[in-house]
Amino acid sequence: MTDRTPKKLTLPLTEDAVCGLRAGDVVHLSGPMYTARDAAHQRLMELIRANQPLPIELEGQVIYYCGPTPAPPGRPIGAAGPTTSYRMDDFAPELYALGLRGTVGKGNRSANVRQALLRHPGVYFVAVGGAGALLSDCIKSAEVVAYPELGPEAIRRLVVEDFPVIVGYDCTGGTAFVGEKRLGN
């Protein structure tokens, strides 16, 4: 059973909040989350392998796979929809193991990522790809916190309000995607 009335969640996420989510739920997120995509993930992994501290706290946090357009005058950020998540699939399990609670992106993910959600537990949210202006309206502030030289790929700390997402994969093995089976424990 899924619930299509938006469920409101505050970020960062608690384990209880994650465990209450089921694939297909419509959720509105409010609070802080971090953007990171291909290049930022590579840098985070280099730090993890070198046992160096990370530029962001991961515990309970949500990473949004997003490379926004430049902020026009008077707005905190430009268009800010999700990018395709599978390119981050090799990195995500390790980040979930370090305390990351959720990711936001678009499209299907690997079995390894889905297994990581069962173990830790975690959640994968789908934001509507191409809804860049609509999602930008839900972002109240944005601040570059690492790798400014990466431009759109820098890590930004966003504060969002009623940011609409759909649970793609939950921590019980459920999936919202067509053609995929539930994962067993």
Partner 1 sequence: MREINVAEITSAVAEMARRANVELPADVVDALRSAREREVSGIAREVLDQLILNAERAVATRLPLCQDTGVAIVFIDLGQDAHLIGGGLQEAVDEGVRQGYQAGYLRKSMVRDPLDRSTNTGDNTPAVIHLRLIPGDRVTVHFAPKGGGSENMSALWMLTPAQGRQGVTDAIAAQIAAAGGMPCPPLVLGIGLGGTFELSALLSKRALLRPLGEPSPDPDVAQLERGILAAVNQTGVGPMGLGGSTTALAVHIERHPCHIASLPLALNVQCHSARHMTAVL
Binding string, residues 49-88; x marks residues near partner 1 by CB under 8 A: -----------------xxxxxxx--x--xxxx-xx-x--
The CA distance from 171 to 114, in Å, is 8
| Structure token pair of residue 166 | 């759909």
Q: Which is nearer to partner 1, 7 or 99 (CB)?
A: 7
Residues 6+ apart with CB under 8 A from 67: 35, 37, 83, 152, 153
Q: For partner 1, what does the binding mask look like between residues 18 and 47, x meaning CB under 8 A?
A: ------x-x------------x--------
Based on the number of CB atoms within 10 Å of its own CB, is 22 exposed (0-12), middle (13-18) or buried (19 or more)? middle
d(CA 80, CA 65): 10
Instruction: Compute CA 84 distance to the chain's CA centroid, rounded to the nearest angstrom.
Output: 11
Q: How many Cβ atoms are within 10 Å of 106's Cβ, its own excluded?
A: 20
Q: Minimum distance between the CB of residue 155 and partner 1, rounded to whole angstroms? A: 16
Site for partner 1 in 99-128 (CB under 8 A): 106-108, 126, 128
For residue 87, the minimal CB distance to partner 1 (Å) is: 9
Could you say which of 164, 172, 173, 183 contacts partner 1 (CB under 8 A)?
Answer: 164
CA 160 to chain centre: 12
Shortest separation between residue 153's beta carbon and partner 1, angstroms: 9
Residue 136 lies near partner 1 (rule: CB under 8 A): yes
Which residues here bind partner 1, judged by CB under 8 A?
A: 2, 4, 24, 26, 39, 66-72, 75, 78-81, 83-84, 86, 106-108, 126, 128-134, 136-137, 151-152, 164, 166, 168, 176-179
